[in-house]
């Protein structure tokens, strides 16, 4: 995908920014942002939050219908794409730079989940998890690094609580998210000398998120409390909660933070068996 091709599928931004308590990033930070996985629940919430804050956003995703609707609603640019296609990450970055004229932020929100223990994970599923959750973010970050360094930009990766406390039924997924977390920390170390920050956000069970959808298996969201214990906060996090954390880490308010992981899980991983406070 060339920059010219990308520019034809992107929707020009027309929605004015509204800064405020729920606006997103400040006008002085992350004004041009590339978001992967924007057609998912969390990625979509990130796109909406950043656009409300006045940022110019280009986002990727595989679901064309959702992407077109989000682009229409927010004015963000949409590039339909599969990050695992050869050359796709580099082409996406080239296209985004051609449209935005530079880059202040990169949000790595694309990911896939596979519910199975390691012993029941096929070679194909293993490869897909690592290609999507680790290799593609690496290629995207590497391709963005020079542009981010020009303006002292920031990278935010969407990890998972399983990166800290792996789950047996999410064996390969847990491994991939731990690798993504380590990738983010290495980006923080290398990027620091160039003025680039890199941090991670680790959501717990999130209403409408990928993990919760996997648990529910197509069932109603009201069933989540029956299947997954409530965290100490008494409620599951929402995509908007996660988007707020991403916006913070992109903003000047987090200028002193790099190599950090911000959990958005209602205190689920704060202590061993933390869920017992609600039982």
Encoded tokens for 130: 């690592």
Quote the pLDDT of residue 232: 86
Quote the pLDDT of residue 36: 98
- Beta bridge partner(s), residue 60: 79
List, in order of start, the domains of the chain with CATH numbers. 3-12+25-278 (3.40.50.720)
The Cα 35–Cα 110 span in angstroms is 8
Quote the pLDDT of residue 273: 63
Quote the pLDDT of residue 30: 61
Encoded tokens for 139: 């290629």
Output b/e per residue, 225-242; b: 16+ Cβ within 10 A: eeebebbbbeebbbbbbb
Quote the pLDDT of residue 94: 95
Instruction: For residue 236, indicate whether it is catalytic.
Output: no
Quote the pLDDT of residue 7: 45
CA 97 to chain centre: 19
DSSP string, 24-47: -S-TTS--EEEEESTTSHHHHHHH
The Cα 67–Cα 65 span in angstroms is 5
Residues 6+ apart with CB under 8 A from 73: 48
Q: Which of 173, 185, 191, 202 is catalytic?
A: 173
**Per-position pLDDT tens, the chain of length 279:** 444 444 444 544 443 333 333 344 443 446 999 999 999 999 999 999 999 999 999 999 999 999 999 999 999 999 999 999 999 999 999 999 999 999 999 999 999 999 999 999 999 999 999 999 999 999 999 999 999 999 899 999 999 999 888 889 999 999 999 999 999 999 999 999 999 999 999 998 887 755 444 443 444 445 555 566 788 888 889 999 999 999 999 999 999 999 999 999 999 888 766 667 776
Residue closest to 157 by CA, chosen among 212, 186, 199: 199
Quote the pLDDT of residue 12: 41
Q: How many CA atoms lie within 13 A of 272 on its CB side?
A: 0
The Cα 197–Cα 105 span in angstroms is 9
Are 76 and 99 within 8 A, CB to CB?
no
Residue closest to 81 by CA, chosen among 73, 158, 72, 94: 94
Instruction: Dump strand ranges (E) for the chain.
Output: 32-36, 56-61, 77-80, 105-108, 154-158, 197-203, 261-264
């Amino acid at each position: 995908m060339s920059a010219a091709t990308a520019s034809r599928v992107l929707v020009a931004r027309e929605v004015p920014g509204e800064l405020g308590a729920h606006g997103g990033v400040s006008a002085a930070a992350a004004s041009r942002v590339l978001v992967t996985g924007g057609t998912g629940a969390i990625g979509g919430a990130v796109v909406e939050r950043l656009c409300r804050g006045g940022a110019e956003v280009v986002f990727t995703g595989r679901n064309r219908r959702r992407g077109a609707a989000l682009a229409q609603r927010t004015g963000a640019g949409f590039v339909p794409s599969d990050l695992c296609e050869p050359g796709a990450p580099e082409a996406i970055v080239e296209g985004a730079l051609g449209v935005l004229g530079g880059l202040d932020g990169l949000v790595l929100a694309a990911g896939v989940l596979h519910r199975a223990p390691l012993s029941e994970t096929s070679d194909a599923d293993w490869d897909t998890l690592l290609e999507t959750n680790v290799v593609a973010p690496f290629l995207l970050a590497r391709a963005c690094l020079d542009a981010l360094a020009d303006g002292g930009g920031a990278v935010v990766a969407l990890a998972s609580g399983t990166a800290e406390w792996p789950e047996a039924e999410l064996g390969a997924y847990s491994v991939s998210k731990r690798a993504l977390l380590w990738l983010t920390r290495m980006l923080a170390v290398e990027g620091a000398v160039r003025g680039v920050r890199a941090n991670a956000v680790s959501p717990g069970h999130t209403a409408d998120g990928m993990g919760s959808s996997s648990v529910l298996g197509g069932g109603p969201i009201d069933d989540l409390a029956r299947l997954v214990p409530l965290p100490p906060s008494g409620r599951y996090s929402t995509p908007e909660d996660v988007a707020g954390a991403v916006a913070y880490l992109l903003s000047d308010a987090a200028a002193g933070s790099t190599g950090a992981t911000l959990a958005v899980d209602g205190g689920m991983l704060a202590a061993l068996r933390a869920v017992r406070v609600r039982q």
